[in-house]
Amino acid sequence: MSAQLLEALAAALNDGSVETVDLTHTLDPDFPVIVLPPEFGQCARFRMEEVSAYDHRGPSWKWHNITISEHTGTHFDAPAHWITGRDQPQGHVDEIAPGRFLGRACVIDCSEGAARDDDHELTPEAIAAWEAAHGTIPPDSWVLMRTDWSKRSGAAYLNMREDGAHSPGPTPEAIRLLVEERGIRGFGTETVGTDAGQGMHYTPPFPAHHTLHGAGRYGLQCLRNLDRLPPTGAVLMAAPLKIRHGTGSPLRVLALVPRSTDNGEATA
C-alpha cells in the first residue's frame, strides 16, 4: 500500500498534478531580522563573503563563506528557543525526529484583517469560523497564519514605531486552543516571529513562543506564498539544518499542493 502511494506521489510530481510551492524568502543581507530593545543581544543579518571566483584564489571554482543567525530569514524555531521549552526532550533541531519535518498544513486566511489593522489578531472566533468552513483542524497539523505580510519589504516589514514593532499574530487564547485542544505540531507566520509585533503586552508575553515551545511544538516564520496554498490539503516539508544543540535554523520550506486548477475541487 505505502509503496503504491509513494509511486503515485512520484508520478504526480513528475506530471505536475502535484505542485511544489516554495514558501521561502531569498537569503539576502537586506532581508530584515527581528530587532530587540537595545539592552538585549541581537540576531545577525545574513552575510556572504566570496572565497574565490574562478580566480587566483581558486582558479576553477567559486564559493562563499556565509554568516547567519539561527533565526535569520525563513526559519524554524525549536522548543529550546524559549525558556518554557528548555527541558523539552528532543528540544534542539539536531534531536527532532525527521518524520516531524513532513506533515499536513492548515492555512487560516487572515489577510483581510491584516490589511485593515497592522495589529490584527488571530482569535478563537476566527479559528471557529475557519473550522465551520473547512472542518476541525486535525491533530499534529501545521497551522499557518496567512496575512500577506510577506508582500511587504524594507521598513514596512518590521513596521517599527516608537513603541516597537506592529504586525499581526495570535492571541494567547488562540494559540492555547491550537496547542492544547487541537494538538497542532507547529504554527507558522509570514512575519518576523510567530508572535505579534506587540506580543510582549499579552499575558503571558509572547504567547506563541511561550505555549508552543513549552509544549514541545515548533514555529516557522518569514514564510511567503501562503496565498498559493489551499486551506487544507497541502503537505509541508520543513527540515532545519542539523545544528548541534541549535535552537532554530534557516531552511527551505516547501509545500506539496494539488495543481492550482484543481484547488477549487480539492478544497470544496
Binding site for Mn ion (CB under 5 A): 71, 77, 248
Q: Quickly tell me which residue has 543567525 as its cell.
A: 69
- Least Å distance, CB 221 to Mn ion, is 6
- Least Å distance, CB 236 to Mn ion, is 17
Which lies closer to Mn ion via its Cβ, residue 71 or residue 120?
A: 71
Q: Are 191 and 170 in contact (CB under 8 A)?
A: no
CA angle 43, 48, 49 (to 5 degrees): 130
Q: Retrieve residue 21's grid coordinates.
A: 510551492
Which lies closer to Mn ion via its Cβ, residue 170 or residue 248?
A: 248
Terminal-to-terminal C-alpha distance of the chain: 27
- Which residue(s) pair with 76 in the sheet? 220, 249
The pair phi, psi for residue 97, each rounded to 5°, is: -65, 135
Q: Quickly tell me which residue has 522548543 as its cell.
A: 79
User: Rounded distance, CA 260 to CA 17, Å?
Assistant: 9
User: Rounded distance, CA 259 to CA 109, Å?
Assistant: 19
> How many C-beta atoms lie closer than 10 Å to residue 26's C-beta?
11
Q: Please list the active-site residues.
A: 81
Q: What is the CA radius of gyration of the chain?
A: 19
User: Rounded distance, CA 166 to CA 119, Å?
Assistant: 6
